[in-house]
Each structure stands twice: as structure tokens, then as C-alpha cells.
Structure 1
Amino acid sequence: MKLFHCGRCANLLYFENCRCTSCGSGLGFAPDVMDLLAIEPSEDGTWAAVARGDLYRLCSNYQSQGACNWLIPLTDPHAFCVACRLNRTIPDLSVPKNQDLWRRLEKEKRRLVYSVLRLKLPCEPRNEDQHGMAFDFLADQPAMFDERSKVKTGHFNGVITVNIAEADPVERERMRSQMAEPYRTVLGHFRHESGHYYWDLLVRSGPWLGPVREMFGDDTRDYRQAMDQHYQYGPPGDWQSWYISAYASSHAWEDWAETWAHYLHMVDTLETAWQFGLRLNDQQNPTTSSESDPAFDPYQAENFDALIKHWLPLTLALNSLNRSMGHEDAYPFVLAAPVVEKLRLVHGIAHGG
């Protein structure tokens, strides 16, 4: 994620900010320029970007629900922004807690959409494009006592379903412990499920299918049988030598989705670090200069080796900082050589070869 500054007072901002905490200016993210803009109301109900003059409207979820801070260019006829137009189903907001959970989901979903836009990947709403993406944010019903009947987070035919309970930190931690996962976040779910969507869009019927099968395995293997086996017997003992996570070992589709999610983790975290001016020497490669690549853009880097060169020492720093604070590792992963090659393939496909 890049850093944003208030267009009126230059105060440093968070991506989710709706108002500058320094000067009080209203804020809105404009996907057409990929920037968080200071905005001021005009007499006709539109909003003008301070210092730029461009005119926008607020997303309907910005105005009515406070669940979005994105803008719509004045020439765009839609009532919702490009991120909110991906929603097919939102929770029943009359139910206590649902609005808060939904807002948390929207916050993380917009980070996914930011990454997709930065990578220049297709991101059309499914109700406007038959190959587009849609989100269903669903809640378990009180009558659902059978675990098998609860809402499952997953992807099918372009629709990403997310159980809104994942936005509850207590419930998510319970599931993380139950599933023995070292890493479980809402943003991680969005990135993982988007991997299934982009497998369908970019891999399934195109020239990348052969290379992906060679690298990730046979995707025609019976999925349900593979998952049953995974949950009954667990991952193979040497899974860390071949996969980014234990879950990735269950099926080729899950290996792809976990690797795709990890690639998004990498480029977005690297962009954040680079925007803050963080430069790290790779202690295993003394020729790496802390002042190298001043214009390095992780999202647009053509050379995958450049990403890895910066990523590995950054993860060491992240974990060391967390340990200094008495926390678990921020990055509980090991990148074995086969995993790096899988990430390299994902990089190539994300950038169109």
C-alpha cells in the first residue's frame, strides 16, 4: 500500500481515513488516480479535489452507511464505487453487530481491490460482465446448529462468499486455533478466494494451464476427496519443502490460491515498506545496497528476482520487530525453493507473461 498525504495540509493519512485528523478536510479515495484526495463540497452536491479541481461524487455506501471512503468520477453514472459494485449480497444491517462486521469486511475488501487495480487485473462486477467478480457477505442463521450447514467462505463460478463471522476477531482466533493455522486474517481470506477467481479467469482455459499444472499439480483430481483426505490425515510430513502452507498441500487449486494470496501479501507489504523509505541490506548478499532501486515499484516490477531480493530481508526485519515486542512472528512462513518458483509463475501470470 502506498502512503497518502492530505492535499490541504500534507498530513500523513491511512488508506481508510474519511477525514484528515490534522486539518479536518474530508477525504476520499479516487480509483481513477489511485490517490486519497482531500475533498470539499460544491454547491451542486459534488465534491472537488483540493488543489486538483477534479469533481467527484461520494459512493452511496460512503454517504448512507459510512462503510466506504471511495469516490466516483463525475462522468461515471454508477451510484456505487468500483469496489462496492462488486457486492452481490451484504448482511442484514438491522441485526445487531452486522453493520460493524460488514464495515470491517469492506475495509479489507478495498485493500484487495486496490491491489487488483495496481496490478491492472480485470475487476468487473459480475452483474455487468459474465466473467466478472461478485461478493456475498453472509451470516449463519440461528437455526444452523449443524456445522456442515453453516456459511462456508469460498469461491464458486466468480462469486466469493465470506462468512461475516470472520470479521469478528474472537471468532477468527477460535477458528485459527481450531484449524492449527499460524496465519488467518480477513484480508488473507479475500486474497486467497480471489486466487480461485483469477485461476478461472487467467489459467483454466488459456495457455498458462500447462505450466500451472506442471508446477502446482493435477487440478482435475477429485476436489472433495482431496479435502476429506486432508482433514482426516493432515498434510504430508515434508509439506514445508514444497508448499507455502499446510492447506496448500490439499489440492492443486488450494496450492495456487495460497500462493496467489502470498504474492499479493508480498507486493503490498513491499510497497508499504518502500513508501516509508525502509531500505534493508541483505546480509547474505553484501552487494545489495540500502540505496538501490530508488524507483522500485513492487506492483510493477518486471523482474521477480528483485521482489525476492527485497522480500526476504524485510520478513526477517518484520519478525525481529515483532519478537522485540513479545509477539509471535508477523511472517510465519518458509519459502522453500519450489515455493519461490511457484511465486515466480504467479508473478508472470499476474503481469500477463
Structure 2
Amino acid sequence: MKLFTCGHCGQAVHFDNRVCVRCGSRLGFAASDAKMHAVLPEDDKGGDLWQDAADTGRRFRFCANAAQDICNWLVDDGSAEIYCEACRYNRIVPVTDNPEGLDRWQRIGQAQRHLFYSLIRWNLPRPGRDVDPQGGLVFDFLADQTAPDGSIVPAMTGHEDGLISLRAAEADDATRESIRVQMGEPYRTLLGHFRHEIGHFYFDQLCRDEAILSEARALFGDEREDYAAALQRNYEQGPPPDWQLRFISTYASCHPAEDFAECWAHYFHIVDTLETARAFGLSTDPWRHGDIAAEVSFDPYRAPSAQVLVDAWIPLSVALNSLQRSMGQMDIYPFILSLPVVEKLDFINRLILSYAQPQENAAPVEAAA
């Protein structure tokens, strides 16, 4: 994630900031140029138009979800949309008539906007149900149900034909952490859910060409494998003994579709964190340990290969994990990037970069060396 600048006073501002701490200007993110903007009211009569503080000829409206402090994104004046580029894909959202529901919606919305920042930076196609009624992207944030006997029936998180469902209760830290511990996972976050489930969507969107699909199956396995049988086998037998040599996580080892989605999510984790490190000028150069020295001197969103990303990521993640341990916290990145995993990440890097520019100038995905 980049650092941004207040267009009114020049103060450094962050992606989730609502107000500039120096000048008090209201802040909003515009997907049309992927920047944070300081905005001023168009008039003093309470209208919904806001003027860019740095470009008085540019006007915005805030996303309709800003009314409840769910969202701080902007919609360009003249657009027929009332919701921003992220919120307009939502179909079922948490209730906001109580503090718990409002808090869940705010946390979910924050994670969703971080996801969409990356999708926008890469200019990945985002067809909604208005374009593709059967397979377009749509989100349902689902509440748990109460069974007749009074027990709680948890909502399911998953993906099917463009529909991404997320259990709203996982916005509660205690609930999500208890599930993480119960399932023996080293990592579980709302943003991780978003990045994983969108991976399923983009497999369907981007792996349609016969050559690309063939390479994907050679790396991840055949996604047509019986899913229920694979999950049952994983439940009964657990992951293969050598899973760390071939997969990014135990969950990735249970089915080819999950392997792709897990690698997709980790690719997003790595790229966005490296961009944050670059924005803050972070580098590693430990005395007498040159093998873990690294500097992010490139744009991670345009890295020529996954190996370039990994060469910077491993030293940085080692440093981040060490900082976490110094604070008595868990490792921020408790995963191993084996050579087969790096090859999978490189496929995803090439796949994404083939869509990361206007279509008429897009380069095809090239086979791995």
C-alpha cells in the first residue's frame, strides 16, 4: 500500500484515513486514479458534492456507505453510481441497526477496500452481475442462523460462480481467532479470506485459454478433481507428509482449486506488503548477514517475475517476524516459499501482468523458463 499526500497541506496520509490530521480536510480515495484526495464541500448548504482541494475543477460524491462511516471512497461527479467501485458489488451486508452489526460492516468494508485497491492497481477485469448474471462478481456477507433447538448454525465462507460469501461473524476478533486455533491455522484474517476467495473467481476469469489452463493444471493439478472427495480425504488422512515442499499451506494441499486460491492470496499479501515497505523506505542490511539484505527498489505491482518478489520478501518477512517476536506476538508470515510454490507464484505473476494494462497493449502470458 502506498503512502499518500493531502492535496490541501501536503501532510502524509494513509489509505484508511478519513481526515487529515494537520489541516482537517476530509479525505477520500478515488478508484479512477487510485489516489487519496483532500476534498472541500462544494457549498455550505449541505449538498453532496465535494471539490478536490488540489484541482478545483474536479468534483466527487462520497460512496453512499459513507453515511454510516462504512466507506471513505469517492465517486466521480457525473457517474450514475451511488456506491464506490468496491461497495457496488455487495448484495447482502450486515445489519447496521445495532453496534455489533455496524462494527462488523466497518471491519469487513475496510478489508474489502484493501482487496479492491490491488484489483484496481492491476486493472484486473471486474465484471459484475449486471454484465454477467450467471458468473459476475458479487458479495454476500452472511449472518449466522439460529436452529430450532437454539444452537448457532455458522454461515459459510466460500465462492461459487462469482458469488463470494463471507461469514460476517469473522469480523469479530474472538470468533475468528477461536476458529484459527480450532483449525490449527497459522494465519486467518478478513483480508486473507477476501484474497483467497477472489482467487477462485479469477481462476474462472483468467484461465480460459487452453494454453494457460494447461499450464495451470500442470502446476496446481486438475481443478475438475472431485472436491467433496478431496476434502473428505484431507479430513481423514490430513495433508501429505511432504506438503511443505510443494504447497504454501496445508489447505492448499487438499485440492488443486484451493492450491491456486491460496497461492493467489499469498501473491497479494507479498506484493502489497512489499509496496508498503517501499513506501516507507524500508530495507534490510543486517551486519555480517548479507544473505538477508534486501531493498524494494522496484514497483512490486509490476515485478518482472515472482523470483524478484521473493528475493525481497524473504529477508523482509524474516525481519518482520523477528520484530513480532520481540513484542511477544506471532510471526506475521509463518510460511515457507519452496521452489514449487515460487513457480506457482510466478505463473500468477505472469497471468496478472497480462491484464495489468489496457487490453490493446496487453502482453500475453509467457511460459515459465
Give, in whole Å, the separation in 2 of the partners of 1:147 and 1:342: 42
Partner AA of 1:244 in structure 2: I
Q: Does the C-alpha gap of structure 1 residues 260 and 73 become closer, same or farther in structure 2, counting only changes over 3 Å?
A: same
Q: Describe the SS at the equivalent of 2:27.
A: strand
- Equivalent in the alignment of 2:343: 341
Q: Does the C-alpha gap of structure 1 residues 284 and 239 become closer, same or farther in structure 2, counting only changes over 3 Å?
A: farther
- Equivalent in the alignment of 1:35: 35
Q: Describe the SS at the equivalent of 1:80.
A: coil
Gaps of 5+ in 2: 355-364
- Equivalent in the alignment of 1:98: 101
| Kept after mapping to 1: 8 A contact 2:63/2:71 | yes
Q: Does the C-alpha gap of structure 1 residues 345 and 145 become closer, same or farther in structure 2, counting only changes over 3 Å?
A: farther
| Kept after mapping to 1: 8 A contact 2:30/2:37 | yes
The root-mean-square deviation of aligned C-alpha atoms, in Å, is: 2.0
Give, in whole Å, the separation in 1 of the partners of 2:347 and 2:152: 35
Q: Does the C-alpha gap of structure 1 residues 289 and 307 become closer, same or farther in structure 2, counting only changes over 3 Å?
A: closer
Q: Does the C-alpha gap of structure 1 residues 153 and 241 become closer, same or farther in structure 2, counting only changes over 3 Å?
A: same
Give, in whole Å, the separation in 2 of the partners of 1:79 and 1:272: 30
Residue 21 of structure 2 corresponds to residue 18 of structure 1: no
Q: Describe the SS at the equivalent of 1:155.
A: strand
Q: Equivalent pairs: percent with the same residue?
A: 46
Superposed, 1:77-92 pairs within 5 Å as 77-92=80-95
Q: Does the C-alpha gap of structure 1 residues 332 and 146 become closer, same or farther in structure 2, counting only changes over 3 Å?
A: farther
- Equivalent in the alignment of 1:245: 249
- Equivalent in the alignment of 2:320: 318
Give, in whole Å, the separation in 1 of the partners of 2:302 and 2:50: 31
| Kept after mapping to 1: 8 A contact 2:96/2:102 | yes
> Which structure 1 residue ranges, 4+ long, deviate > 4 Å from structure 2?
144-149, 281-286
Determine which of 169, 188, 191 is the counterpart of 1:187. Answer: 191
- Equivalent in the alignment of 2:178: 174
Q: Does the C-alpha gap of structure 1 residues 312 and 147 become closer, same or farther in structure 2, counting only changes over 3 Å?
A: farther
Q: How far does residue 215 in structure 1 lie from its aligned partner after superposition? A: 0.5
Give, in whole Å, the separation in 2 of the partners of 1:34 and 1:190: 19
- Equivalent in the alignment of 1:2: 2
Q: Does the C-alpha gap of structure 1 residues 2 and 206 become closer, same or farther in structure 2, counting only changes over 3 Å?
A: farther
| Kept after mapping to 2: 8 A contact 1:29/1:37 | yes
Partner AA of 2:55 in structure 1: R
Q: How far does residue 207 in structure 1 lie from its aligned partner after superposition? A: 3.1
Residue 204 of structure 2 corresponds to residue 226 of structure 1: no
Higher mean C-alpha deviation, range 96-105 or range 204-213: 204-213
Q: Describe the SS at the equivalent of 2:146.
A: coil
Q: How far does residue 345 in structure 1 lie from its aligned partner after superposition? A: 0.8
TM-score (ref. length: structure 1)? 0.93
Partner AA of 1:226 in structure 2: A
Higher mean C-alpha deviation, range 337-346 or range 36-45: 36-45
Q: How far does residue 12 in structure 1 lie from its aligned partner after superposition? A: 2.4
TM-score (ref. length: structure 2)? 0.89
Q: How far does residue 22 in structure 1 lie from its aligned partner after superposition? A: 2.2
Residue 165 of structure 2 corresponds to residue 161 of structure 1: yes
- Equivalent in the alignment of 2:333: 331
Q: Does the C-alpha gap of structure 1 residues 110 and 266 become closer, same or farther in structure 2, counting only changes over 3 Å?
A: same
Q: How far does residue 206 in structure 1 lie from its aligned partner after superposition? A: 4.5
Give, in whole Å, the separation in 1 of the partners of 2:142 and 2:250: 27
